Amino acid sequence: DMLPGDVLADLNRTITRNMLPGDVLADLNRTITRNMLPSDVQADLNATLAPASVTADKLAPGSVTTAQLSEQILKYLKPEITTSPQAPGLVFTGESVTLTGSAEGKYLAYQWNRNGQPIAGATGATFVITDANGTLHDGNYTLTATNDFGSATTAHITIEVNATAANYVVPSIGMDMIWCHPGAFTMGSPANEASRGSDETQTQVTLTQGFYLGKHEVTQAQWNVVMGTSPSQFTGNDRPVEKVNWTEAKGFCEQLTIMEQNAGRLPPGWAYVLPTEAQWEYACRAGTTTIFSWGDTATSTQANFKGTNPYGGATTGPNLQQTTDVGSYGANPWGFFDMHGNVWEWCSDWKANYPNGPLTDPMGPASGSSRVLRGGSWNNPGTFLRSAQRNLYSPGSRINTLGFRAGFRFIPADVAAPELSLLGAASVTHQAGTPWAEPGVSALDMVDGDLTSQVTVTGTVDANATGAYVLTYSSTDAAGNAATVTRTVTVTGAHTVQAASNLEMIWCPPGAFTMGSPASEAGRHTNETEHTVTLTKGFYLGKYEVTQAQYEAVMTGNSNGLSATPSNWPNNANRPVEKVSWDDAQIFLSRLNAAEQAAGRLPNGWAYVLPTESEWEYACRAGTTTAYSWGGDINSSRANYDQSGLSQTRDVGQYSANPWGFYDMHGNVWEWTADWYQAAYPAGAVTDPTGSASGPHRVLRGGSWLYHGTVLRSAERYDRHPGNHDNTLGFRVGFLKSQ
């Protein structure tokens, strides 16, 4: 209100284009073209993007157009198929089929296609066909992955839905086979089932693939056609073949596959095999949940077993003491005969406890020592015929109760490489001059099983020359899938402490071990409970106990009033120093650190210390798990203890070293450790333990010349007041980076 009226009028006036002078209007109406831009701007606009100028993680959809990107960049941004769907094999009307694929890339969208046309709603990496129908579901299926930069499509797989799941007769041997549809069931037995085994924990199992299984156990006549003369004890063409081991049963299936393949009767990808344990129990139960496929009791009228020992309070019957012709007893609900009794039947699986949680298409562990058998035999009581009963034998076992039943199924293409697992650490530090022992590697393949013996190793370790060595382990399965892992071995020289008369030290790499002793170990104490210890840092430890000469070299002239020659048996330069308290050892270490630092030989952050109790036992065991580092017993040739008859110390290094090169970890003198003593180890696994925060006593380890042999065990623990001196107490020096 302080402004004059003409100014207010100007402020309130609306400016329109016709009020602007001509030169301003010309600028507003002018179109800017490329030739009006300065040359440096034009150069930027004309530049071609180099492949490395942008990366996929810097590009959000819409930030640039694909036309602005070179083909080299686009090929990194487009989806790339990583897993193609696998053909499902035979599919019958009413069954379910699950197809799975995957791609690599950002902002992916999936689309399943049938005969080149998108399937409505099928926009995930997994597509499930339910209630299969030939009219609706026959065809070629692909999965397409798309993002803003392009698309990729899998190779097609073909699904042909068969009208009925007809049973099948193997032409070459006349073997009847029954189709088992995909499905789910409860494997194992309930906790209240009488005579159940602890290895029968109930587990939900889903079988996504259907399979054929022999209507009967393989007969001697069928065996003879494929393999030649029957090994059976109880002869008869229609009796089950027995005295067949797992390898021979597997060989029968492989030979039958070849015969049918040569005759042109084998569909691509199909093979005769032993059933998995899950497939066997699925077919045995045939939809039932009772103890046997017919109910909860068993008598000799229902199966061939030791009828004098029926199950569930049933009436006793005869014991035939031999096999019977297959099919002599009633079939189960799906038409299978003799799933209970007659002969045990080999399965493909290695024997192990069931994994926790639901399982899909389980095949058992990749390796083991025994194979699974199911069903019981003529020589077993009724309890062994239960649907959930499990048995095991080594694959080479051949007795008159062991036979098998053949399966016939589609084997999905083997696309998975073997799983290689290093035994020991991937990075190892090794002491020069000590033997190098290859820790090894395991190789397991879900199709081919244990391939450990076929692993090739490239590279060597020269344990006498310092340096870094790389070992490469390779494994290839029968399908050509390959895998490799590497291990780096760093060979280091010994560490010598000059201020302590060239005290030699050995490197202990980081690692894990079981500390303590098993309950069965003779002479053990209750304070030795086994527990897992992980040491995350490596350390050096004295090759020998500290000698009198080394102690004197460091302690001469000390200002603490301590004798530099305290030993009960003085003037023995190479015997271990004794009559040294824990407190005396600390003064020794303090003087040693000061001397090495003054000489410029102490690396920053490193210090000479007493080892912790766990470091001491780790070095003592040196990878062993026995009572002593050499084995389970002791005699006077192994160490200096009461039975050696010396009644005193002796020069260090007079007995054999442990696997890592340490001497006298057992006997000669007790060795102080850094820890306060605690009677009970911590519950469970621990990492880098250091004992109690305080206490009246410190821990000693290793035993001495005065004590009995059991006291020299790797796990033996002893405690004394830190001020105690006597002629059994000495120590060993550690050297580690504490910061």
The DSSP-derived string for 553-585 is HHHTT-TT---S---SS-S-TTSBP-S--HHHH
Q: Within 475-535, where are the H helices?
A: none
Tell me, what amino acid is at 25? L
Structure tokens at 384: 């062994």
**pLDDT of amino acid 565:** 94
CA distances from 568 to 500, 639, 654, 718 (A): 20, 20, 19, 21
Q: Who wins on pLDDT, 464 or 407?
A: 407
pLDDT exceeds cutoff 80 at 577: yes
What mean pLDDT do residues 700-704 have?
A: 98
| C-alpha to C-alpha distance for 628 and 524, rounded to whole angstroms | 12
pLDDT exceeds cutoff 90 at 668: yes
Question: For residue 159, what pLDDT band results from cuts at 50, 70 and 90?
Answer: confident
Q: Who wins on pLDDT, 565 or 603?
A: 565
By percentage, how much of the chain surpasses pLDDT 90?
Answer: 66
What mean pLDDT do residues 295-304 have?
A: 97
Helix, strand, coil distribution of the chain in percent, nearest 5:
20, 25, 55
pLDDT exceeds cutoff 70 at 663: yes
Structure tokens at 504: 């030699």
| C-alpha to C-alpha distance for 531 and 683, rounded to whole angstroms | 8
What mean pLDDT do residues 152-160 have?
A: 88
Angle between helix axes 246-262 and 220-227 (nearest 10 degrees) is 70
**pLDDT of amino acid 67:** 59
Q: Phi/psi at 491 (nearest 5 deg)?
A: -90, 120
| C-alpha to C-alpha distance for 619 and 624, rounded to whole angstroms | 10
Q: Which of 460, 450, 98, 408 is nearest to 271 (CA)?
A: 408
Q: Which helix (H) or strand (E) holds 142?
A: strand 139-147
Q: Who wins on pLDDT, 29 or 337?
A: 337
67-120 pLDDT tens trace: 566 666 766 788 899 888 887 767 777 778 889 999 988 889 999 999 999 999
Q: Who wins on pLDDT, 31 or 518?
A: 518
**pLDDT of amino acid 500:** 76
Largest CA-CA distance found in the chain, in angstroms, rounded: 129
**pLDDT of amino acid 737:** 86
Q: Within 198-273, where are the H helices?
A: 220-227, 246-262
439-450 pLDDT tens trace: 899 888 767 777
What mean pLDDT do residues 680-700 have?
A: 95
pLDDT exceeds cutoff 60 at 65: no
| Residue owning tokens 């579901």 | 137
**pLDDT of amino acid 158:** 85
Between 4-18, 53-67, 123-137, the lowest mean confidence (pLDDT) is in 53-67
| C-alpha to C-alpha distance for 138 and 491, rounded to whole angstroms | 63
**pLDDT of amino acid 625:** 96
Residues 6+ apart with CB under 8 A from 92: 132, 161, 162, 163, 164, 165, 179, 181, 210
| C-alpha to C-alpha distance for 338 and 326, rounded to whole angstroms | 7
Q: Phi/psi at 703 (nearest 5 deg)?
A: 75, 180
Please list, residue by residue across 444-458, b when 16 or more beta carbons sit within 10 angstroms of its beta carbon and e when fewer do. bbebbbbbbeebeee
**pLDDT of amino acid 738:** 76
**For residues 692, 695, 701 and 706, what is the CA-based torsion angle, rounded to 10 degrees?**
-170
Q: Within 381-493, where are the H helices?
A: none
Q: Which of 278, 525, 224, 265 is nearest to 407 (CA)?
A: 278
Domains observed in the chain: 80-162 (2.60.40.10), 168-409 (3.90.1580.10), 419-492 (2.60.40.10), 495-737 (3.90.1580.10)
Is there a contact between 668 and 518 (Cβ–Cβ < 8 Å)? no
Q: Which of 342, 308, 295 is nearest to 322 (CA)?
A: 342
Q: Which contacts of 49-56 are long-range, i.e. CB under 8 A and separated by 24 or more positions? A: 49/73, 51/76, 56/106
Structure tokens at 325: 């012709």
- The residues facing 443 across adjacent strands are 420
**pLDDT of amino acid 56:** 47
What mean pLDDT do residues 247-264 have?
A: 95
Is there a contact between 95 and 181 (Cβ–Cβ < 8 Å)? yes
Q: Phi/psi at 145 (nearest 5 deg)?
A: -110, 130
Between 2-11, 59-68, 311-320, the lowest mean confidence (pLDDT) is in 59-68
pLDDT exceeds cutoff 60 at 55: no
Q: Who wins on pLDDT, 136 or 178?
A: 178
pLDDT exceeds cutoff 90 at 144: yes
630-659 pLDDT tens trace: 999 999 999 999 999 999 999 999 999 999
What mean pLDDT do residues 13-39 have?
A: 65
**pLDDT of amino acid 171:** 93
∠ CA 161-163-168, rounded to 5°: 100
pLDDT exceeds cutoff 80 at 51: no
Between 23-27, 192-196, 228-232, 381-385, the lowest mean confidence (pLDDT) is in 23-27
What mean pLDDT do residues 237-258 have?
A: 97
pLDDT exceeds cutoff 60 at 59: no
Residues 6+ apart with CB under 8 A from 393: 246, 370, 371, 373, 402
**pLDDT of amino acid 8:** 61
Strand ranges, E, within 395-459: 402-403, 407-410, 419-422, 427-431, 441-445, 449-450, 456-458
| C-alpha to C-alpha distance for 506 and 498, rounded to whole angstroms | 15
Question: For residue 50, what pLDDT band results from cuts at 50, 70 and 90?
Answer: very low
Question: For residue 139, what pLDDT band results from cuts at 50, 70 and 90?
Answer: confident
Between 28-37, 145-154, 268-277, 674-683, the lowest mean confidence (pLDDT) is in 28-37
**pLDDT of amino acid 29:** 64
Question: For residue 621, what pLDDT band results from cuts at 50, 70 and 90?
Answer: very high
175-194 pLDDT tens trace: 999 999 889 999 999 999 99
Task: Report pTM.
Answer: 0.49
What mean pLDDT do residues 604-613 have?
A: 94
Q: Which of 88, 81, 80, 97 is nearest to 413 (CA)?
A: 88
Question: For residue 49, what pLDDT band results from cuts at 50, 70 and 90?
Answer: very low
| C-alpha to C-alpha distance for 203 and 282, rounded to whole angstroms | 12
Q: Phi/psi at 37 (nearest 5 deg)?
A: -85, 150
| C-alpha to C-alpha distance for 301 and 304, rounded to whole angstroms | 8
Structure tokens at 731: 């120590």
| Residue owning tokens 């926790």 | 356
Is there a contact between 560 and 587 (Cβ–Cβ < 8 Å)? yes
**pLDDT of amino acid 560:** 87
| C-alpha to C-alpha distance for 463 and 472, rounded to whole angstroms | 17
DSSP secondary structure code for residue 674 in this structure: E
| C-alpha to C-alpha distance for 411 and 270, rounded to whole angstroms | 6
Residues 6+ apart with CB under 8 A from 51: 70, 72, 73, 76
Which phi-psi region, left, alpha or beta, contains residue 313 (left: φ > 0; alpha: ψ -120 to 50)? left
Q: Which helix (H) or strand (E) holds 177?
A: strand 175-180
